[in-house]
Structure 1
């Protein structure tokens, strides 16, 4: 696989993380540190999951292909539902709205499950894993970081209730992942 193919694969894998980063950025009222943390988690998990898939190879491919869409859907449904619920709660505008590391961990796993399957494919094709995971991790990090800031800029336009929209978007992403894998 050439470097351009790896880059476009990385961009494709990063799209879920990018979308989720935008939704997190919509409710974020803080600074660089939080955008960096989200991007770091998403980039690290997108880089780690292909390695796990590559190591697991054939043994887990069938199980992951069967259950991955459901796992991603359930995780995004839970986080999206939580965001919708929190969107209806009263908030103090002066409080810096942050996230829990548990939420970011769950979102990182949910958005990187497809990267696991790519790792399995790399194992089947005898593709060396180091360069692809570096590209995948860096592209996801960059797009997630940009996504948080895009969401932050858009979130201020809509006020505090943007969290409800973010939750709906996360549930929509989960539903899209599920339906794409069930139908195709």
Structure 2
């Protein structure tokens, strides 16, 4: 795999995490760069590990991962998205009081895992090729770190401009990502 292919793969693997990060940024009360970097690090590490797991599973788990990855991502992203949409319906006085300054590690880890299941499947696919998985996984992780960090800060801007509607939009975006993953796999495009 050449450098251009690796970069394109890394960018493709990080786009859904970027969209999820925008939602996470809108759900926070004015996130700072430190929170954006923390979120990017959590997502980036998970996104770098999942292709390694997929690589290690290789042929033995390829059919299992391929059969269920889209359902797992759909359910996890859907549940998180519905929570965000429901939070957007709360009255304004409740919204600012309940908006956290940072997300819990577990909320970020679950979202990061949900958006990285496709990277695990890519790792399985790369096991069949003569590809050095470590540089590819590291590139995917670094691209995701950068995209998610930027996404949280974009979410901050959207949150300031659109208020609680931005959180609802972020939730709908997560639901949309999960639905697109499911549709892609069920329609045979994935």
TM tier relative to shorter chain: over 0.9
Structure 2 equivalent of residue 76 of structure 1: 77
Deviation string for 1:19-69 (max 9, x for gaps)? Answer: 111111122222122111110111111100010011110011101111000
2:59 equivalent to 1:58? yes
- Deviation of 1:94 after TM superposition, in Å, equals 9.4
Worse-matched range after superposition: 7-16 or 126-135: 126-135
Residues 126 and 133, structure 2, Cα contact 8 Å, conserved in 1: yes
RMSD: 1.5
Q: TM-score, normalised by structure 2?
A: 0.92
- Deviation of 1:166 after TM superposition, in Å, equals 1.1
2:68 equivalent to 1:67? yes
Structure 1 equivalent of residue 149 of structure 2: 145
Residues 27 and 84, structure 2, Cα contact 8 Å, conserved in 1: no
Runs of 4+ in 1 over 2 A off after TM superposition: 91-98
- Deviation of 1:152 after TM superposition, in Å, equals 1.1
* Equivalent of residue 110 in structure 1, options 108, 114, 125: 114
* Number of residue-to-residue matches in the alignment: 184
- Deviation of 1:162 after TM superposition, in Å, equals 1.9
Distance 1:114 1:35, change over 3 A: same
Worse-matched range after superposition: 135-144 or 92-101: 92-101
Residues 16 and 177, structure 2, Cα contact 8 Å, conserved in 1: yes
Structure 2 equivalent of residue 8 of structure 1: 8
Q: Secondary structure at the match of 1:7?
A: helix
Q: Secondary structure at the match of 1:91?
A: helix
Distance 1:127 1:166, change over 3 A: same
Distance 1:145 1:152, change over 3 A: same
Question: After superposition, where does 1:1-184 map in structure 2 within 5 Å?
Answer: 1-28=1-28, 29-89=30-90, 90-92=94-96, 96-184=100-188
Q: TM-score, normalised by structure 1?
A: 0.94
Which ranges in structure 1 are unaligned for 5 or more consecutive residues?
none
- Deviation of 1:6 after TM superposition, in Å, equals 0.2
Report the Cα distance in structure 1 between the residues aligned to 2:100 and 2:124, rounded to whole angstroms.
41
